[in-house]
C-alpha cells in the first residue's frame, strides 16, 4: 500500500488498513450471507450481530457498567450540542460549560439558543494555549460540559476536570475517544462522532448514565430524545447501518491491537517524537503550553511568524 | 454472483451490483487519491466533487429548477417527521396530513406532538387497501403531507393528490423516489431516506423550494433547521460522507441506465408480472385495490387466510 498518503486535513481521519480491507471484503457479500453489508435488513440477525458486537466490544474496551446505555445516533457532535441541553435541562437548571477551544465554543453557542448557560471556565484570553484553570460551577448546574481534546488548539484533558458528584459531567470526546483508558463512572454522558477515532462519519456514539434518562422532558423531537434510542436499541428507525458496521470493525481492531492501554502508549510515543522535534528546533514553535499538550493534535507555528503563510 | 440472494426484508434494500463494485473499488484508494473514500476530508476537493456530482445528477434526473435546494441530512424519514412541522408551521398554521398507511401514521404522530394537525383524508377504515379518496384541507393549512408509496399496504400515488397552489405539498418519497418521472414543481418539499431506492441508510435527501426557507422560525435545534444545510451546502458539520458517496454512485447508475423513464418502465414490467400471477391464481389474493396498486411493493395474502401463517 505504498500509494496511501498522510491525511492532515480537517474532518474524517484515516482508518486502520486492516479495517478497510475487512470492509471491502464485505461490500458485495457479508460473511457469506449473499447480501452486501449495506443491503442487510436492520431487523435481521446479521445486523443484530453487528450491533451486539459493537456494544460488547465497546463495553469491554472502556469497562462500561450496566448503569450506562450505549446508543448510536446521527448528526455528529453538532447534534449533541443540541441534544445535551434539550435532554438534561429543566426550567430550574442551567448548562455549565468549559470554553477550551473552537468546538467548545460551538457547543456553547447552540446551548445558549436552547436554554440557560453558565461559563464555568475559559482559556479564551490565553488564546486556548492552555486548559482553563479555575472552574467554578453555578448553583443550579444541570451538568458540566467539556471538550476532552481541542483539535485546532492542540490541548487535551488527560484527566477529567473536577466536578461535584451530583453534577453530571458531559464530554465531547469526538477527537480522542479510545485514545487512553477512561474511567466512565466519572461521566454522565460521553459522546463522539465516529469519524476521527472510531470509524467513519454518519454515526455518533453516545454513552449515557441511565438515571439521566429520567430527567428528559416530554415532546422533544423524536430523534433528539435519548430515550428513542435507549428504548429501541438504537433502532427506532433505520439506523446508519454501514457507518455502524465500520465503527464495529474499528472497535474490534482496537481490541485486537491491545485496547486503550496500548493506544495510549502508541499515542504518547508518536506525540513525544513530534514534540521533541518541535522543542529542539529553532524553526518550529509549539502552540499549546507543554502541560496541556494534546496527544492527538500536535499544533505548532514558526518562531519567525512572518514565514508561516509561506510554510503552509 | 450466483451467491447473491433476494432481499424481501424490511429496511435497507439491495443495490445495483455495479454500484457495489464501484464502492468496493474505492474503499482503499479513492480515484487514485491515496486515501479511501471514507477517509477523504469533507472540506477537500475530492469530496466536493462527489457532492457536486450528486447534486448535478439528481437535478438532471428530476429536472429540478433553481427554485429548489437539494440538501443531505441524516435520521431518515423519521427526522423529517419532526423537521417538516418545526420548519413550516407557525402559531397560525396547521399541518395537513393524508393517512394512507403506517408511515403516514408515524408522520402524523410526530406532527401531533410538535404542532397542530388536521387530517385531510384517510383510508384507515378501508384497511389502507386504497388511497384516501376525499381530500379536504383546513383553512389554515401550512402544508399538505402525503406518503407517495405505502410499503406494507402496497398502495402508491402515481400522480400527486390535489392540493391548492398556495399550500406546499410535502412528500415522503422514501420508498419510491426515482421510480418514475416526477414534476418537482408541484411540490414544496420532497424527502427520502436513501436506503430503499437511492443508496444506503445514513443519508436523507431533501428537495425544498427555496421560498419556504423564509418561514422557518428562529431557534430550532441547529441540525433540524433546513437553513443549516442550504446555507452551508450540507456541510455545516461533517456530513455522512460514505452514504453520500454511495447515493451519488446510485444516482449516476440510474442516469446511465436510462433515467426515471426507464426505471418506470422496468418497475411497471416487474409489477405487471407479479400482479398478473396473483390475479390469475386461485391461491394468492392481492391486498391493495387494483387502481391504487404500488409498483414498488406488491402485497398479497392467500385466498384461504388460514394458510397464511404456514405460508410465511
Q: Give B54-69 pLDDT, tens digit per residue.
A: 999 999 999 999 999 9
Catalytic residue numbers of A read 103, 172, 196
Query: Is the pLDDT score of B302 beyond 80?
Result: no
pLDDT of residue A16: 92
Report the distance separating Cα A26 and Cα A15, nearest Å: 16
Report the predicted TM-score, pTM, of the whole model to 2 decimal places: 0.93
Check if B113 contacts A (Cβ < 8 Å): yes
Distance from CA of A256 to the nearest CA of B (A): 21
Which stretches of chain A drop beneath a pLDDT of 70? 1-11, 311
- Coil/strand/helix, residue B304: coil
pLDDT of residue A3: 63
State whether A12 and B240 contact (CB < 8 Å): no
**What residues contact residue A204 under an 8 Å CB cut-off, 6+ apart?**
A72, A73, A74, A75, A76, A77, A79, A80, A191, A192, A193, A194
pLDDT of residue A6: 67
State whether A39 and B202 contact (CB < 8 Å): no
Residue in this structure with the C-alpha cell 475487512, named with its chain if needed: A22
Mean pLDDT of B234-238: 90
- Where on the phi/psi map is residue B75: left (φ > 0), alpha (ψ -120 to 50), or beta? left
Q: Maximum CA pair distance of chain B? A: 60
Residue numbers in A near B84 (CB within 8 A): none
pLDDT of residue B60: 98
Yes or no: say if B35 and B172 are a contact pair by the CB < 8 Å rule. no
pLDDT of residue B2: 44
Length of chain A: 312
Classify residue B32 by burial, with Cβ atoms within 10 Å: 0-12, 13-18, 19+. exposed
Least confident span in A106-115, A266-275, B87-96, B259-268: A266-275
Q: Where are the alpha helices (DSSP H) in A89-164?
A: 102-114
**Residue percentage of chain B with pLDDT more than 90:** 74
State whether B27 and A29 contact (CB < 8 Å): no
pLDDT of residue B13: 74
pLDDT of residue B88: 98
Yes or no: say if B36 and A24 are a contact pair by the CB < 8 Å rule. no
At B1, the pLDDT band (50, 70, 90 cuts) reads very low
Output the average pLDDT for chain B: 92
Distance from CA of B280 to the nearest CA of A (A): 31
Mean pLDDT of B224-240: 94
Q: What is the pLDDT of residues A254-302, one digit of tens each?
A: 999 999 999 999 988 888 888 888 888 878 778 888 888 888 887 777 7
* CA A13 to chain centroid: 13
Catalytic residue numbers of B read 103, 172, 196
pLDDT of residue A297: 84
At B277, the pLDDT band (50, 70, 90 cuts) reads confident
At B155, the pLDDT band (50, 70, 90 cuts) reads very high
Q: Where are the alpha helices (DSSP H) in chain B?
A: 17-25, 45-62, 76-88, 102-114, 226-230, 241-256, 259-279, 308-311
State whether A38 and B21 contact (CB < 8 Å): no
Amino acid at each position: 500500500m505504498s500509494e496511501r498518503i498522510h491525511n492532515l486535513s480537517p474532518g474524517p481521519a484515516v482508518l486502520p488498513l486492516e479495517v478497510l480491507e475487512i470492509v471491502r471484503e464485505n461490500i458485495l457479500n457479508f460473511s457469506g450471507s449473499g447480501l452486501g453489508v449495506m443491503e442487510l435488513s436492520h431487523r435481521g440477525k446479521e445486523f443484530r450481530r453487528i450491533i451486539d458486537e459493537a456494544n460488547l466490544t465497546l463495553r469491554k474496551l472502556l469497562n462500561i457498567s450496566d448503569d450506562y446505555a450505549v446508543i448510536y445516533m446521527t448528526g455528529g457532535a453538532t447534534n449533541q450540542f443540541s441534544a445535551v441541553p434539550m435532554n438534561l435541562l429543566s426550567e430550574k437548571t442551567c448548562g455549565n460549560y468549559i470554553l477550551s477551544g473552537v468546538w467548545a465554543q460551538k457547543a456553547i453557542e447552540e446551548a445558549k439558543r436552547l436554554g440557560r448557560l453558565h461559563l464555568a471556565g475559559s482559556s479564551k484570553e490565553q488564546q486556548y494555549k492552555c486548559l482553563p484553570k479555575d472552574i467554578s460551577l453555578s448553583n443550579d448546574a444541570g451538568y458540566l460540559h467539556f471538550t476532552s481534546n481541542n483539535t485546532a488548539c492542540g490541548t487535551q484533558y488527560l484527566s477529567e476536570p473536577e466536578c461535584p458528584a451530583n453534577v453530571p459531567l458531559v464530554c465531547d470526546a469526538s477527537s480522542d475517544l479510545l485514545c487512553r483508558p477512561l474511567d466512565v463512572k466519572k461521566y454522565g454522558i460521553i459522546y463522539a462522532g465516529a469519524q476521527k477515532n472510531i470509524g467513519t462519519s454518519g454515526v455518533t456514539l453516545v454513552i449515557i448514565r441511565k438515571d439521566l434518562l429520567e430527567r428528559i422532558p416530554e415532546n422533544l423531537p423524536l430523534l433528539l430524545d435519548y430515550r428513542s434510542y435507549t428504548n429501541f436499541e438504537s433502532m427506532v428507525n433505520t439506523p446508519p447501518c454501514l457507518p455502524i458496521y465500520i465503527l464495529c470493525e474499528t472497535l474490534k481492531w482496537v481490541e485486537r491491537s491491545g485496547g486503550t492501554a496500548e493506544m495510549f502508549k502508541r499515542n504518547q510515543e508518536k506525540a513525544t517524537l513530534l514534540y521533541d522535534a518541535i522543542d529542539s528546533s529553532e524553526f518550529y514553535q509549539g502552540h499549546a503550553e507543554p502541560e496541556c499538550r494534546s496527544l492527538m493534535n500536535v499544533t505548532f507555528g514558526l518562531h519567525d511568524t512572518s514565514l508561516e503563510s509561506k510554510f503552509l
